[in-house]
Amino acid sequence: MISFVATPIGNLKDITLRALETLRAADVIFCEDTRHTLKLLTAYNIKKPLLSCHKFNEREAAEKILAASREGKEVAIVSDAGMPVISDPGNLVCRTLREAGEPYTVLPGACAFVCALVLSALPADRFTFIGFLPDKAGERKELLARYKVSRETLVFHAAPQDVERDIADLYEVFGERRACAVREISKIHEESVSFLLSEGLTGEKRGEYVLLVEGAAEENPLNALSPREHVKKYMDEGLDKKEALKRAAKDRGVSKSELYKEVLDL
């Protein structure tokens, strides 16, 4: 049997009894980084042959996994942390096994973006997981544009060196929205920080991040007006200029400074 096994995303105690049972029974374990998986196995006194299955050799590894299974071996597949396949290697292995008619199963467990969704307190009844954004700026913005009017919470992964870049692009494409950055899930320094896209995320960026952004608001009919007419509409209803400007900016998903020049004479 081939088993995709979820592993801890931080705290090594976050592993199921069934996962440990499966790893102990495995004849071979395919993993993203043998050094990383060895730490987990050592913590639970498990000694098994480890073979690599990462994005650079996944096709070759898939054939080895298929062959091992057909030889009657128990095969376990893990990633460095969390659920294999989700922003990690494994999808090509799944397709290879499916096309070959070879059965496999999955052992549920830790998944970073699901934990982050809970920690963010953003709406979770509907959400879209997008994962890591492309490296090229044009491709990033093209991808984000596809989700600009999506009303569900949007979920991204980001390496620490990419966090500021990604947030800047999110603001450029989506305009002002509430967001949350979650890092170090299940570890001592677990952190969940809410912020506005226009403000960005302050502080040193360390550890892998999950970025969550609220979905687009329902279209406000006032947005069909010109910026000047929009602000004036609120002023006609009795709001002072400052509050009217603030309300209109929020409706349109832009900063107050972007509207200010339009209403100087109001």
pLDDT digits (tens, 9 = 90+) for 138-161: 999 999 999 998 999 999 999 999
* Radius of gyration from C-alpha coordinates of the chain: 24
231's CB contacts (< 8 A; 6+ apart) are 241, 244, 245, 248, 259, 262, 263, 266
Relative to beta strand 178-183, strand 209-213 is antiparallel
Whole-angstrom Cα distance, residue 194 to residue 33?
33
Shared-domain flag, residues 49 and 17:
yes
pTM reported for the whole predicted model: 0.80
Amino acid at 263: V
Summarised one tens digit per residue, pLDDT across range 47-105 is 999 999 999 999 999 999 999 999 999 999 999 999 999 999 999 999 999 999 999 99
pLDDT-derived band at 181 (thresholds 50, 70, 90) equals very high
Sheet hosting strand 153-158, strand order edge to edge: 127-132, 153-158, 209-213, 178-183, 191-196
Residues spanned by the domain of 231: 221-263
The reply to whether 197 and 237 lie within a common domain is no
- Between residues 264 and 241, which one has the greater pLDDT? 241
Same domain, 15 and 103: yes
Q: How many domains does the chain have?
A: 3
